[in-house]
């Protein structure tokens, strides 16, 4: 069984979901520049409690918009464990409603809105613990076969 197949699950409600791989910029535990996103399942949602740190600063005290987009993109990648098929981001849209503050805890959640053929329409939000939404997002993922991930490094296995 490949690592990709192992990640398919099943993953019961509440389960912690495995990182995409150890070096992943979003969730890899071995990436010193990464966000170390820790994600679990809540029903049809994938959810993370996350704090951006000084490595992710844009304006002073505020998370860089690209860092927020990175984390949202990676969070969407965890929905694929529930879908049960690999897919990649074709389009990513982020609405920055309020500054995402460094050193502040946020709840991040994502869900699949609908599927049309190979296309997965997904959405997400970033919410402060006081309930205010700091960012919303939509994205289109397109399913691919496992060979998609060996284009750059033919020997790599995910």
Ligand X SMILES: CCCCC/C=C\C/C=C\C/C=C\C/C=C\CCCC(=O)SCCNC(=O)CCNC(=O)[C@H](O)C(C)(C)COP(=O)(O)OP(=O)(O)OC[C@H]1O[C@@H](n2cnc3c(N)ncnc32)[C@H](O)[C@@H]1OP(=O)(O)O
Residues that bind ligand X (CB under 6 A): 4, 7-8, 20-21, 24, 26, 73-74, 76-77, 80-81, 84-86, 88-91, 117-119, 140, 142, 144, 149, 158
**Residue 67 CB, nearest distance to ligand X (Å)?**
14
**Quick check: helix, strand or coil at residue 34?**
coil
Q: 12 forms bridges with which residues in the sheet?
A: none
Whether the CB-CB separation of 139 and 103 falls below 8 Å is answered with no
Residue whose CB is less far from ligand X, 15 or 101: 15
**Residue 61 CB, nearest distance to ligand X (Å)?**
27
**Residue 80 CB, nearest distance to ligand X (Å)?**
4
Which H or E run contains 134?
Answer: strand 133-143
List all residues 6 or more positions away from 127 whose beta carbon is below 8 Å from its beta carbon.
Answer: 106, 107, 108, 109, 133, 134
Residue whose CB is less far from ligand X, 131 or 151: 151
């Amino acid at each position: 069984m490949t690592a990709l197949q192992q990640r398919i699950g099943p993953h019961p409600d509440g389960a912690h979901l495995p990182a995409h791989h150890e070096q992943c910029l979003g969730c890899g535990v071995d990436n010193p520049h990464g966000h170390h996103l820790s994600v679990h399942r809540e029903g049809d949602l994938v959810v993370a409690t996350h704090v951006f740190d000084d490595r992710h600063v844009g304006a002073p005290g505020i998370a860089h918009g690209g860092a927020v987009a990175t984390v949202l993109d990676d969070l969407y990648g965890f929905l694929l464990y529930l879908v049960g098929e690999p897919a990649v981001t074709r389009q990513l849209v982020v609405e920055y409603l309020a500054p995402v503050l460094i050193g502040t805890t946020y709840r991040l959640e994502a869900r699949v809105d609908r599927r049309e053929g190979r296309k997965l329409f997904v959405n997400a939000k970033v919410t402060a613990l006081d309930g205010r939404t700091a960012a919303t997002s939509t994205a289109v993922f397109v399913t691919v076969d496992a060979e998609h991930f060996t284009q750059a490094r033919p020997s790599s296995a995910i």
